[in-house]
Amino acid sequence: MVIAPLFAAAIAAAPAPSPTPTLLPIAHVVTSDRSSESLARTARTTYVVTKDEIVRNGYLTVAQALENVPGIEIESYGGFGSLSSVSIRGSSSSEVLVLLDGMPIAGSQIDAIDLGQIPTSGIDRIEVVEGGGSTLYGSGSMGGVINIITSPPTRSAGTASAGSYGQDSLSIETPYLALARTIAANDYSLPNGTVQQNAEAELNSLRTGYTHDFGSLDVSLGGDLIDEQVGDPGPQGFYSPTSHQGTVDRDARAQLSHDGAHSTLSLQLGASTTDLSFTCDTPVDDECPNTGITTTPYAQLLTEDRLMSDLRDVIDNGSEHLVYGIDLARGDARVDDGIDPIQVHPFDQAAAYAQSQWFDVRGDEWYAGVRAESDGAPGGAISPSIGGIENVTSGLLLRWNAATAFRAPTEEELYYPYYSNPDLVPEKTRVGDVTLVESGAPGSLSLGWFTTDGTNLIVDNPVTYLPENIGHAIIQGATFVARSRSYGGYSAYFDVTNLYLAEDLENDTRIEGRGPVFTVASGIEYVAPPQSRFDGFGVTTLSKGSRGLIDTSVPSWDQPIPYTNVGAYVGYRVAPQLVLTLRGYDLTNARYSEFGTYSSSSVAFYAYPVPGRSFAVELRAR
């Protein structure tokens, strides 16, 4: 196996082993209120996936790391490397803002943000803020915000794995550089017994970072390069042996922060680009997926380039916390279907925002904020928000939030040939949530309710597949989250999300693509003490119900079969800093389709089945 000598070299180059420090839970987050604060005191519902969780569970991509987060729905349309979209609390993927170290990544304007192609190598943690975040983050954050936070590790580490369906992976992290490479043949069988072909994937990444303190001035630099190449076999029934998709993402960012006696002034600068290409040799193919073009070789290229800046000041005097700033962004989106003349459309954003928090001696807190944003031709909005935390009793908190949120239509939704609508107008919603949280010695319990009441939500028409505005829609749901503390190394969790309403009130139908009615996740984990040969184990289950009642007289792109997925791992220390882990995925062999069927037919048309039962062996140097 090619990765073996590279992995051996990485281990040899690593510093001499030293006792592994105890990994403490994340105490502070930076995304919920756009400044550092205690995780336990965020008014907005915030979840964190830590580096330790990423490593212990073997998550290779951000999509995998977020799959069990309450309120999040990850849809993967095939094996490793296939498209993975995200929904938060019934949002669309376009209503979720993805940040890298606090700055948006390119791809939203051409619908090319794919969490399944963002490796976890070099990532310190992932913060997820659920609910409308337009006051602090602007357009595209109606459903929530995902902030991928990188940080150079304090010591070198490496991981190598080999598994089913020809999947091999190698990751090497040093204090200044993180490298990762995963290849997968994805030669799994389809439900009809044939073996999937032209579905191979290759994901390579390089991530670098540097931080240094010059007295009261903090400097942080970072850069990323991600390259993904995947075969695209096309929908079932129209197999394409030559179609291919490639994505190249580049990010560079810098932050300067000056700490004063009661304030922190920071300047962030960023540049982000993405290139999404699709090709197929139609004279050879029976069908070129997504186009129907069979006369000439076909190629398309969509690109997005953006430059961004944020000037922010945070003032804290103990009883009041104020954050205010200016966001500026400008870029170009190339919208190319490979047939019509190439179109390049500029876009820009300018916004000013401010939010103040107040604290009293009882521990209650309240916040209020507002943002004024202009997004060029699509329009702009003023977005206020209020919320707070009330101490009901000792150990029982009430979190509440109310806000307006908005999203401007993207360049692809406005201009992509034959699949766009230039008459789209911005989405506008009112969002709110209420959550009771009880924390004690056994662990924590929370019960929450959320709502989104919107006008002009952008959805795809199920017949024409063109984007259109819904006059009035409402989305509501509830979550129950239980987390135990660690007892002798054992810990467990149990989560339920009930998206009981996602209604198009104009047509009295459920909105497709907004997630299943029920999602239930549970797990148990044992982390052995450092001196033990046995490293520990973990078992997780993820169950998804139906999407609810939708119109069965038209083709549906989102009617997967309900399923339960079980995963597990067990680890053994072959040396003090070397862990051998066996991982199992989809142990129930749930063969389900995430990408729609014709309801009137028993044949799965346009279906990308997810692989069945699979295993991997992993060697990790810590």
Other residues' Cβ atoms within 10 Å of the Cβ of residue 361: 6
pLDDT at 308 over 70: yes
DSSP 208-268: EEEEEEETTEEEEEEEEEEEEEEE---STTS--SS-EEEEEEEEEEEEEEEE-SSEEEEEE
pLDDT band of residue 286 (cuts 50, 70, 90) is: low
Percent of the chain past pLDDT 70, that is, above it, reads 86
At residue 166, the 3 state secondary structure works out as: helix
Does an H or E element contain 489, and which?
none
Question: What integer is the mean pLDDT of 232-245?
Answer: 70
pLDDT at 92 over 70: yes
pLDDT at 460 over 90: no
How many distinct helices (H) and strands (E) make up the chain? 5, 34
Residues with Cβ < 8 Å from 112, sequence gap 6 or more?
A: 106, 247, 274, 276, 302, 304
- pLDDT score at 422: 94
For residues 511 and 144, give the distance between their C-alpha atoms in angstroms, rounded to a whole number: 19
For residue 198, give the nearest of 164, 245, 249 by alpha carbon. Answer: 245
- pLDDT score at 547: 61
- pLDDT score at 5: 40
The terminus-to-terminus CA distance of the chain in angstroms comes to 22
pLDDT band of residue 20 (cuts 50, 70, 90) is: very low
150-179 residue pLDDT tens:
987 778 999 999 999 999 999 999 998 999
Q: Which residues does residue 226 pair with via DSSP β-bridges, in sequence order? A: 205, 249
For residues 560 and 607, give the distance between their C-alpha atoms in angstroms, rounded to a whole number: 9
Residues with Cβ < 8 Å from 98, sequence gap 6 or more?
A: 86, 104, 105, 108, 113, 115, 145, 146, 148
Q: Which residues does residue 609 pair with via DSSP β-bridges, in sequence order? A: 593
At residue 39, the 3 state secondary structure works out as: helix
DSSP 377: T
pLDDT at 290 over 80: no
CB 540 within 8 A of CB 586: no
DSSP 41: G
pLDDT at 192 over 90: no
Beta strands in 69-187 (DSSP E): 72-76, 84-88, 96-100, 103-104, 123-130, 144-150, 157-163, 167-173, 177-184
For residue 421, give the nearest of 379, 474, 461, 381 by alpha carbon. Answer: 461
Q: Give the type of residue at 498.
A: N
565-614 residue pLDDT tens:
999 999 999 999 999 999 999 998 877 655 444 443 444 444 455 688 99
CB 210 within 8 A of CB 176: yes
- pLDDT score at 403: 97
Question: What dihedral do alpha carbons 239, 85, 541, 497 form, nearest 10°?
Answer: -130
- pLDDT score at 284: 60
The pTM for the full model equals 0.92
pLDDT at 2 over 50: no
195-206 residue pLDDT tens:
778 889 999 999
pLDDT band of residue 12 (cuts 50, 70, 90) is: very low
User: Hey, what are 183's tokens?
Assistant: 């290849």
Which of 557 and 587 is assigned the larger pLDDT?
Answer: 587
- pLDDT score at 243: 84
Distances (CA, A) of 53 to 66, 125, 146, 293: 11, 9, 17, 45
Give the largest CA-CA distance in the chain: 74
Does an H or E element contain 411, and which?
helix 411-415
Among left, alpha and beta (phi > 0; psi -120 to 50; other), residue 515 is: left
- pLDDT score at 173: 95
pLDDT at 341 over 60: yes
Mean pLDDT of the chain: 87
- pLDDT score at 292: 52
pLDDT at 287 over 70: no
Instruction: Give the least confident one: 114-123, 157-166, 333-342.
Output: 333-342
Beta strands in 336-426 (DSSP E): 343-359, 365-374, 380-393, 396-407
- pLDDT score at 10: 37
pLDDT at 415 over 70: yes
pLDDT at 448 over 50: yes
For residues 155 and 123, give the distance between their C-alpha atoms in angstroms, rounded to a whole number: 14
DSSP 93: G
Instruction: Give the least confident one: 399-408, 470-479, 602-611.
Output: 602-611
pLDDT band of residue 13 (cuts 50, 70, 90) is: very low
Question: What integer is the mean pLDDT of 355-380?
Answer: 92
User: Hey, what are 441's tokens?
Assistant: 């010695």
CA angle 386, 73, 115 (to 5 degrees): 95
Distances (CA, A) of 278 to 285, 377, 456, 588: 14, 29, 31, 34
- pLDDT score at 239: 63
Q: Which fold has domain 3-621?
A: Maltoporin; Chain A (2.40.170)
DSSP 115: G
Backbone angles phi, psi at 290, to 5 degrees: 75, -5
- pLDDT score at 131: 93
pLDDT at 45 over 90: yes
- pLDDT score at 253: 97
pLDDT at 318 over 90: no
pLDDT at 426 over 90: yes
Percent of the chain past pLDDT 90, that is, above it, reads 67
